[in-house]
Amino acid sequence: MASLEEAYSNEYQEIIDPELAYDLYWAGIITHKSNFSCPSDKCNAKVTCINLDQEKQDMHQSPHFRGYNHSDDCDATLHLDKKAGIEIPGQSAQSKFVKNDAISDVFNLKRPKNQFAKKEPTGIDPHKVQKRSSRKGKNTNGEEFYGGSEYYSVRSLVSKFIRYKKDGSLSEHKVNISGQDLAYKSLFKGVYQQPIEALPNEKLVYWGVAFIDYLSNKDCYKITFGETLKSKDFQARPSFFIPKKMIEEYPVRNLVVKRLEKISSLDDKRAFIFIYSRPYISGESYINFDLESLDYLEIRYLDLFEDLKKKP
């Protein structure tokens, strides 16, 4: 079996990465984890997206593609046992695509229009050329490699943050947002008694343990962090709201609704919350976040405490 950076979705009719495949599956656009094929024009190998149907909290590995019975001419296989820029004696001269973690990931703040639109099967040319992603370069050995991954939701960034936090490499890996590179260590900021005036002006991924409550009189969820932030005159536990309309309009709402309903119904309503936003003072004694999109939110169960203690 060979790992792949991208695969062709026979249902979505485009070459996509595992993270987009994951979102499309939970939005009901992709319905089967094995309905993919090799993205190479020289190969028709079948491909499966591992962990496509699993919640990220329950995964030992992030979603990834595995191909079976590639052709000898296939140029799309990804060798995970090889690092870009390191020459391996005796390796075939055939160009192989390798992953280079030194290149920044990209967090796209908006999804492409109609990304979740179902494709019509009529009028599709089965012999069309499958075009690869343009985000690739070459290592010192002259081989082509793909750059960092492109993401559309915070939950994808959280998975990498957890991985890098456990292996102590948060400073080594970066995310590009609107043209600016930030180390994962700088992008993720725990909510823990910081003076709000000292926090950066730009949005970051704020995280920490928070309480999830359903407010029936307002038909929304309220999320309140357990720790405080400080202003000059007071300190408060920052909070934000998730209106019902926002949930109903979100294509991948099944992922969000399941956790909101479960946690808010428990006696212990706590969860790990990650939100891409910026805190601000509201009124005389409140500190709030604005949630602009559910793509900017990730909810993890308290099991994350134990997960963060594990060695990679």
DSSP string, 123-161: T--TT---PPPS-EEE-TTS-EEE-S-EESSHHHHHHHH
Q: Read off the pLDDT of each residue in 204-222 and give the average, rounded to a whole number.
A: 97
Q: What is the dihedral of CA 40, 44, 45, 46, to 10 degrees?
A: 110
Q: Read off the pLDDT of each residue in 264-292 and give the average, rounded to a whole number.
A: 96
Q: Which domains are assigned to the chain?
A: 1-152 (no CATH), 187-309 (2.40.50)
Closest C-alpha to 174, from 191, 162, 161: 161
How far out from the chain centre does Cα 109 lie? 12
Identify the pLDDT of residue 136: 42
Burial annotation 199-227 (CB, 10 A radius, 16+ → b, else e): eeeebbbbbbbbbbebeeeeebbbbebee
Q: Read off the pLDDT of each residue in 48-65 and give the average, rounded to a whole number.
A: 81
Q: Which two three-digit tokens encode residue 87?
A: 């020459």
Sequence letter at residue 151: Y
Fill in the DSSP letter of residue 111: P
> Measured at the alpha carbon of residue 57, what is the angle toward residues 251 and 45, in degrees to the nearest 5?
70
CA distance 164 to 170: 5
CA distance 80 to 280: 43
Neighbours of 79 (CB within 10 A): 16
Q: What pTM does this model have?
A: 0.79
Identify the pLDDT of residue 237: 98
Identify the pLDDT of residue 82: 36
Q: Read off the pLDDT of each residue in 33-54 and give the average, rounded to a whole number.
A: 89
**Count of alpha carbons within 13 angstroms of residue 62, beta-carbon side:** 18
127 vs 16, 34, 41, 123, 289, CA distance in Å?
18, 20, 10, 12, 49
pLDDT band for 131, please (50, 70, 90 cuts): very low
CA distance 140 to 229: 47
64 SS3 class? strand
Identify the pLDDT of residue 191: 97
Q: Which two three-digit tokens encode residue 203?
A: 């949005």
Q: Read off the pLDDT of each residue in 232-260 and give the average, rounded to a whole number.
A: 94
Closest C-alpha to 85, from 137, 136, 138, 139: 139
Q: Which of 32-41, 74-83, 157-166, 194-203 has the lowest mean pLDDT?
A: 74-83
Strands 270-277 and 297-300: what pairing? antiparallel
pLDDT band for 25, please (50, 70, 90 cuts): very high
